[in-house]
Structure 1
């Protein structure tokens, strides 16, 4: 009975989500067709569909989507991996962590758009500057979140391992890292959004292709259909990456359940 109730609730949730999405686009199209909104400014699902087909037929769609996705994946991977490694280093050396803490806080609060022109000069007007912008946005957040997670590891368990003769690497790999798998997954979820923000910001400043380039170009020539089409594609790509993280989280939960 309980399982049937959970399955029914799951189906209702999925159905309502689909209903809200379809209802939103239907209302948007109706408002444009009835003249309640100016479709030249607000666009409409039908105009966006026509723009999407035109991009696909011209071959530009794959170029711009693949460029942004590749830059996002590279920035996301580098930000996450380097952030975790640096957080481990800070956990390993509390003295260094205490020295660097104010600098990390300042870097976290610093608006990264201010560093955009510097990245362009350093890395050149290309994907290098965009990936660096993405790395700058996600790296510090990853370091701070993971380091806080490491510090929050149960001190009594650490003391028990020390009593049993465990050294620092053993404590790290046997206790600290496994205890923070949930924190890592949460960091991955946050970094999906931050990575896309970094890529789009970078493409706003300097790019020859990508979804950010399409958005800037469309706004400059006042093609709002192109802007809205790019935004919707961006939302789908970000949702796809986020769903991959959810699948990873589910797999980790199953693995941890089996191992426990």
Structure 2
């Protein structure tokens, strides 16, 4: 009887705790949305009353009008689609190749030590400096943009994932070696499961880096895409188009980040 009452008491306390967590999440979401609405409202008011110059800073209404204009023109979703395609492809290739390279370097500690200074130099090197060379080698088009995005994310992925592999408890590896586990078994049953947070962190970093690479590439060579709209809008003094492109980029980047967060939550539930 005592045990049953104790279990019920714990369950009620747990329910109160869960309700508190849900309430906190709702409050955080509400505050986030309110901050956004207040910012947009103040931006519009400041533009209407000429506290700021609408030509230089645009305004929410002018951004919406620019959005509607491109939508009616039929080119809006073409530009969005091109940029999303380049970003997702660069993001995916950078992550996959980075993880595979990290596995190879973990597999061969000698090779890892040989290549370590080169990885450090490549990571520190501004990738924008390589962009003209990449464009010259590959050509003036979408493949060059994807390669630029890939290069920006792949080195960071290699370093972060390899560091995560190296931080796995050495005693666990020794224990598996004692039971004569192969390297593939160690990788599959120890390294990968314990490195899931590292993979998620690499994905989150790569979301931002891939967007940087794609937009930088579109600044240089593209004739389509949101980066192209930003450059074109600046050249013809249509800053409404520039602000509209930046807003769209922010929304899409946020959606990509949320997708990674959903994957993280699902993997966390599976592990627990």
The TM tier, using the shorter chain, reads over 0.9
Output the TM-score relative to the length of structure 2: 0.94
Aligned to 1:103: 118
1:1-260 map, 5 Å: 1-257=16-272
CA distance in 1, matches of 2:120, 2:33: 41
1:5 CA drift (Å): 1.5
How far apart in 1 are the matches of 2:147 and 2:39? 36
CA–CA distance in 1 between the matches of 2:19 and 2:86?
A: 43
Once the two structures are TM-superposed, the CA of residue 232 in structure 1 deviates from its matched residue by: 0.2
In structure 1, what is the Cα distance between the partners aligned to 2:25 and 2:120?
A: 41
Cα separation, 1, equivalents of 2:45 and 2:227 = 28
Q: Deviations over 1:3-45 (max 9, x none)?
A: 2221211111111000000000000000000110010110000
- Give the length in aligned residue pairs: 257
Please give the alpha-carbon distance, in whole angstroms, between the structure 2 residues aligned to 1:212 and 1:140: 23
Q: Please, which runs of 5 or more residues in structure 2 have no aligned partner?
A: 1-15
Cα deviations by residue, 1:205-232 (Å, 9 ceiling, x for unpaired):
1001000000000011111100000000
The separation in 1 between residues aligned to 2:178 and 2:199, in whole angstroms, is 28
Task: Provide the rounded CA distance (Å) in 2 between the counterparts of 1:99 and 1:199.
Answer: 31
> Matched residue of 1:12: which SS?
helix
Displacement after TM superposition at 1:172 (Å): 0.7
**Off by >2 Å, runs of 4+ in structure 1:** none
**Residues of 1 paired with 2:44 and 2:267: CA distance?**
42
Inter-partner Cα distance in structure 2 for 1:79 and 1:7: 36
Partner of 2:130, secondary structure, is helix
- The structure whose Rg is larger is 2
CA RMSD of aligned residues (A): 0.6
In structure 1, the residue matched to 2:12 is: none
Distance across 2 between alignment mates of 1:4 and 1:251: 21
